């Protein structure tokens, strides 16, 4: 009888303990969910102010794919200026951008990575330079932000460019090409389009 009473008391205490944990977690989760909902609504209102086909993103960071071929040369130290690492390079203030105006795109981006096929000889700049019309434009908005995707060509090279706009006018850019490793960029949406030159 004494043993069964101890078991009963243990089960009651254990039940109270479990229900207390559930109550605390439930309260914490619901308060986090409501703050996420508010932040999401604020972010969506901000994203609605960004025009789909008329914007400029000033690039601040480059995130090269950390392939073994790239890392073997990057670890020699040329990317480690200004506190950079081989997979995160600060280019803030260097004049790199992506600008969409109407049905055309201008791109001036640095490229750090492996290029499998080279189709332009005697190139002055080994970055990604585009001044062309784009095609297959898509735009959608979800919980993660406002997304834009399109394709643009430079000679024989076709790029797929994906942009994700987040809160605080920040943007993430992913650039895909069958001739190069994938590379990502982050930047800030600016009010002014880049100057000609």
Please state the domain extents for the chain. Answer: 1-49, 54-190
pTM for the whole thing? Answer: 0.70
Please say whether the dihedral angle defined by the alpha carbons of residues 146, 152, 154 and 157, taken in this order, is positive or negative. positive
What would the pLDDT profile of 84-119 be if each residue is shown by its tens digit? 777 788 888 889 999 999 999 999 998 887 777 666
3-state helix, strand, coil in the chain (%, to 5): 30, 40, 30
Where b means 16+ CB within 10 Å and e means fewer, 94-123 reads eebbbbbeeeebbbbbbbbbeeeeeeeeee
CATH for 54-190 is: 2.40.128
Return the structure tokens found at 180. 């190069």
Return the structure tokens found at 75. 């670890």
What would the pLDDT profile of 133-184 be if each residue is shown by its tens digit? 999 999 998 888 899 999 999 888 899 999 999 888 899 999 999 888 899 9
Q: What band does 49 get if pLDDT is binned at 50, 70 and 90?
A: confident
């Amino acid at each position: 009888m004494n043993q069964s009473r101890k078991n009963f008391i243990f089960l009651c205490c254990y039940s109270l303990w479990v229900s207390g944990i559930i109550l605390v977690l439930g309260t914490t989760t619901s308060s986090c969910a409501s703050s996420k909902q508010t932040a999401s609504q604020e972010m969506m209102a901000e994203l609605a102010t960004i025009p789909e086909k008329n914007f400029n993103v000033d690039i601040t960071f480059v995130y090269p794919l950390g392939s073994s071929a790239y890392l073997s040369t990057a670890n020699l130290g040329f990317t480690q200026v200004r506190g950079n690492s081989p997979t995160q390079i600060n280019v803030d203030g260097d004049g790199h951008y992506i600008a969409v105006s109407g049905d055309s795109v201008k791109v001036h981006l640095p490229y750090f990575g492996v290029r499998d096929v080279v189709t332009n000889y005697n190139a002055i700049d080994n970055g990604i330079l585009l001044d062309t019309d784009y095609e297959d434009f898509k735009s959608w908005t979800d919980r993660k932000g406002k997304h834009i995707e399109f394709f643009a060509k430079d000679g024989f090279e076709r790029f797929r460019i994906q942009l994700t706009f987040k809160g605080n006018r920040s943007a993430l850019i992913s650039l895909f090409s069958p001739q190069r490793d994938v590379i990502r960029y982050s930047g800030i949406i600016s009010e002014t389009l880049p100057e000609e030159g």
